Each structure stands twice: as structure tokens, then as C-alpha cells.
A and B are shown apart, each in its own frame.
Chain A
Amino acid sequence: MSIHNHPKKAKEFVSNDERMHWHDKALWFVREKRDKASKSIPEWEKLREYAQQIKTHTMANLDKYLLEFEENATKRGIKVHFAKDAKEHNEIVYNILKEHQVKKVVKSKSMLTEECHLNPFLEKKGIEVVDTDLGERIVQFRKEPPSHIVLPAIHLKKEDVAKTFHKELGTDENNSDPTYLTRAAREHLRGKFLEADAGITGVNFAIANTGGVVVCTNEGNADMGSSLPKLHIACMGIEKIIPRLQDLSIFTRLLARSATGQPITTYTSHYHGAIENGEMHIVIVDNNRANFLSSNKYKKALNCIRCGACMNTCPVYRRSGGHSYDYVIPGPIGSSLATFRDPKLHKTLSFACSLCGSCSNVCPVKIDLDSQLYNHRQDLYEKNIISTKKRVVMKLSVWVLNSPILFSILGKITRKIVPLIPKKIIYNRFNIWGKQRDIPNMPTKSFKELYKEGSIDVK
């Protein structure tokens, strides 16, 4: 696989100025809604602190809570499976489906199944998988990955959706009225729900002391998918565990407000067992998560509750679009997760960041996202993954900067020479700064020179 290149993909996205600004504004609008919602709660910062503490505690005792969860879920008749990686996860899911002779599956949004590439795996085995979240369905029709974890089709305009639905559902190509399109999608999905033999859902929270799982959706599609067919499979990463039912309130208060600015998600569904005459399975996946636990610098990344707020606030994400990250989870948290998992493949992601720090402040569980990205950069250097050119330039700069005299001389020469060089030569193709920006005007003397001369009149 060739190395992913964020700057290149970002360039493509930025070059369509109108669409880029539309994307930026749409997400900023969500961020503003989130600001209002978070500011309506006086104890917001305390909630963030509690959430962080609960998560950190849970992760430090994860084995204990996973076993507690398994025990309690089993008592409720839920079948619990553990998978070490994506492959095992997919096989477990497939075997359950095979056992029940399932031909059609409805799925409600789960980034984990996206991470494990479950859809193509099942499709290859002849099983139809329909994503039932509206945004997910749109990108599924278009054979694209989601570009945001909460708003998977945010890169598309309603006109794009009209075109897609025209092709797939036979709606009027020129009618992009959202109500019209949503109705068409709903009708289409109704049919899929009724036909389905099994429902697969994600998990937002798994509660150790009850053995139940909680799924939050705005469209109620998880409920349809888990209560119409007899078979319900819930797939979750090991990090979704929280210790007690009462801890849940902290997270549900933070999640919807951070994600979309809503006080609560429309449906917060608790599953504590199968429906009548049905069967419920939970597949718990590691897929490289445990490694985070042993890393002091990055383990907090596992605390993520997937609200998407760091994406909405990130000025780079808003302007470069989710697909530029080439990873199942984009934005600041995605950059950290991806780089930890495969630094070589994702080496540009920790640099796709101006280190503004807005993400760490917006994060409801206080993940130190910007420090993680800073640390990743240092690790890439350590692991010899960043380019030799950059290495040489940096080493040279430090060498110059170690000598005040050399540095002063070079500064002086630059200030003298630059004004004499014709513009054409200064703004050459290697001068990336100068492509769209003028270089600063050169003063005749540096501050140091003026200070030494004693010519600074301080009164």
C-alpha cells in the first residue's frame, strides 16, 4: 500500500473553494451549537473531569471490568465473544449469521465494523448488508467511506444526494428537498428492516455491573434493526466499557451535546438481552487496542467516546475534509489513532495539524490530542520515518542557531541581499511560503544591532 498523503488530498479538497467553505461552515455551525449546549450546563467542566477520571480508571482496570461485563451479560442470556483482531471479529459475526442462515442484514452505524471492513467481508460471502443510518446509507450507495464519525456524509451536498438517490432509488434527480429525500430513504429502509434476518449494531457504552449495552442514535434505526429481526449482534471495541450504570449519566450528558449540540440523543437504547424468542450476541474486539494501554503517551486516546467534536472544531479537518485523512476515523483523534497503529503508512497525519489545541479543549473526555500529535512527530523522527531532507535542514538550522555570531551574520546577509534580488527569483517554485504570501519586508538592521549600537531611544 502506498503511503497516505494528507497534504495532497487536502489540496484537492481546498481547491474547490466553494465546497471547502461550505464544508467549513456546516461544521462550524455544529461546533457553535455544541458551544451553546455546553454552556447551558454550569457544571460542564466538572462533567468533563469526571468523565476523564471514570475512563482512565476503567482503562487501568479493563481486564477486571471486561470479565465482570461478560459474567453479567451471560447471566442475561447474551452470548459474549472475544475477538483479537478484525479478521476474528468478522469470522465470529459470519459464523453466527451462517448458523442462523441469514441472507440479509441491517446494520446501524458502527465505526468498529467499518474499521474491521465487515461489509465487504460479508458481501463476499453472499450476505446483503444494508447500513441503515441515513448518512451511512448515502455513502454506502456511493461506495465511499464515511467522512465523519457522526455525520458520515457531511462532505456531500443535498444536490449530490439527489443524484445518488435518483440513481439508486429512482427519485427525481432535480428534487433535492431534504424532506423529499428523507422520505424516499425511509421508505426504502423500511423495506430493508422488514426483510432482514439479523440486525448488527455498534455499542456506545457497555456497562460492567449490569451486562447491558447502550446504543445512541438519532434515527431510531438501531432499535428497528435489533427488534424486528430475531437475531441481534452488537459489536464493540474493548474500550467501550464503563463500570456502573450510574456512570452512564455523565457520558450521555456529554455525548450528544458535544456531538451535535442536542441535550440528548433522540434514542438512547438499553439492551439487556434478546427480544422474545430471539438471540443476542456481543462481540468484543481488541484489534490492537490493548497496545495503547501500555503506552503512557497515547493511552488516553482509548478514552474517546466518538462524539466527533474534535473534528468539528479542527480548522484543518473543516477545510480538508474527512477523506483526506485516509483512515476510518478522521480529524485529531483519528490522526493519533492511525499514527499509533501504523506510523509509516500515516506519517503525514500528525503534521496535518497546526497544534492550535482547540481539540483538546473541546473533547468531553479531555484527551490531550494536540500533545499526542506533537509526540507522534517526535516518535516518527526517532523511528527514522520523517524525510532525510527535513532532518538535514533541521540539523543545519540548529547548528547555525547554536552560534549567535553565525546566526547574526546570516541574518544580516539575508536582510541586505533579499531586497536586491528580483521578485521573479525570490518567488521561485521552491519558495512555498511565497506561492500565495509575500515575504516580510526586510528591515535594514536587526534589533540586536540596534541594541548594541545603543541607538534605541527608550524614553
Chain B
Amino acid sequence: MKIGLFIPCFMNELYPKSCIATLKLLKSLNLDVEYPEEQTCCGQPMANAGCAKDIKTLAYKFVSTFSKYDYIVAPSGSCVTMVKEHYKDFFHEDDEEYNKTKTSIYEICEFLHDIMKITKLDVKFPYKVGLHNSCHGHRALKLGTASELNIPYNNKLRNLLNLVEGIEIVDLKREDECCGFGGTFCVTQEDVSVAMGKDRINDHLDSYAQFITGADMSCLMHLEGIINRDKSPLKVVHITEILAGEVQ
């Protein structure tokens, strides 16, 4: 089984630590992982801004880079959603390469939970942690049950975090409220975006969390930006770093 590691463009540049943690997690399961160096970006920011037409070339590039792998794994729910949901406009519905890409791409937690079905992690994280359920992963990829629905509760991220020794996942008042990042939304609607981010952070502070974690670094980057500006006593860490035992 060969795995293609897809690292979102901005994570590659700004958050190499989380990328390393992702790679380590996969390697620790003795998987054959490769990081194709010709990758850049899935095109999500442009598509969300209304310019999906422009990213056709990126979509083709993505598919030709990754369709050869048995699984494609990425530490970002929103980028995976982009490939799964929004690339379809560019390809014929029975395009084999695209269909293969679409069905073999997984968000890292989803992959560990559903494909590898891991039940054990040999790591500790003795802190109070708030889980930020990022919308794309949460609602589009169904990493967790959306609070609006009346279906049995499950949360893949929480299940994985529960494998970590010493961790205490705090209960938030609004379990899956959006943090306000939203791609270019964070700039075009700066005021609402920041207000949403602040409220999200306060929910964590009120629950005595020491860390905020989640599966989407873009949301975490937005929250971290506010936390650092406001000098809030909270740390932000991508879920892969906790699961890989990379933060102590």
C-alpha cells in the first residue's frame, strides 16, 4: 500500500512541524509514504473566492500527481473537501483518474480512524484540551456528528484524542461553532471573522482549556493570530502533533 502525502501549501511554508508530525504518524504504522515534491496547492482559497474556473490547471496537476497512490492523506479537512467535492466540475463524471483520486483521498484523522482503525497510541499529553471541530472536516467529511443533526453522536477526532494518555478534553459551550476563518472570508469580512474567532477562543478559555487543537491548520492559524495579539494564555497545536507525541 503506497501513500501519497499531500501537504497544504501554507502548512508546508508556515507549519512544517505539523507536517512532520503527520509524516511520523503514518510512518509509525509502517506505511510506505511518499511526499511528491511537485505538489503545490489544491486551489481552495481561489475557489472559495469565486474563482474556481481559474484553478482548473491546479486540479489537473493535483490529480496527475496523486492518482497513482493507493491512498492520499492530508492534514487538512478543508483541502480534502476541496478535492472530493469541488473538483468534479472540471472532470468528466467517468474520468478514472479523478474518481480514483476522489475516493482515495483522506484527512489524516479519518485515515487513522477508518482505514487503519488504530486503537492504541503510545503517547502522553497531560493537559486540558479544547477540540475545535473545523467546519469542512466536521460537516462535509463528517469527521464528527454535526450538532444540528439528530443522529447518533460520534467524533473521530475525539476518539483518537482519547487514545492519548493523560489528556483531558474539555466540554465547550458551542461544540462546533465556526471560528470565522473561512478562507478569504477572514479578510473580506474581517470584523465578523475576528468577532467569531474571539468568541471561539473565549469558549475555550471559559472551559479552562490550556490548548486548542483541531484538524485544520487554517482555522488554527486564525485563532493563533488572535491569541497572540491578545496575549491569551492558550496554546494552539495541530491534532497530528498531539497524536504523534510531538508536543510535551
Contacts and interface: CB of A to CB of B under 8 A. Distances in A.
Nearest to B182: A354
Contact of A358 (B135, B183, B188): B135
B236 to A, nearest CB: 10
Interface string A317-350: 0011000000000000000000000000000001
B32 interface: no
Contact of A438 (B13, B23, B140, B229): B229
B95 interface: no
Contacts of A433: 186-187, 190, 225
B75 to A, nearest CB: 10
Q: Which of A21, A41, A401 has the most CB of B within 10 A?
A: A401
Contacts of A432: 187, 190
Interface stretch (B40-48, B107-115, B155-163): B40-48
Contact of A447 (B20, B149, B222, B228): B20
B149 A401 contact: no
B118 interface: no
The interface residues of chain A, by DSSP majority, are classed as helix
Interface string A186-216: 0000000000000000000000000000000
B229 A394 contact: no
A361 B197 CA distance: 22
Interface stretch (B52-60, B121-129, B205-213): B52-60
A382 B86 CA distance: 16
Contacts of B235: none
Contacts, number: 209
Nearest to A402: B57
Contacts of B23: 451, 456, 458
Nearest to B187: A432
Contact of A437 (B15, B140, B192, B225): B225
B29 to A, nearest CB: 11
28 contacts: A7-B191, A10-B189, A10-B192, A28-B174, A38-B150, A45-B149, A315-B196, A316-B189, A352-B192, A353-B185, A357-B135, A357-B140, A358-B176, A361-B139, A361-B148, A374-B86, A377-B50, A378-B50, A401-B58, A402-B40, A404-B40, A432-B187, A433-B186, A435-B190, A438-B228, A440-B221, A443-B16, A446-B16
Given A378-B53, A433-B186, A440-B224, 14 more contacts: A7-B192, A10-B192, A14-B195, A35-B147, A351-B50, A351-B189, A355-B183, A357-B140, A361-B139, A402-B61, A432-B187, A433-B225, A443-B17, A447-B15
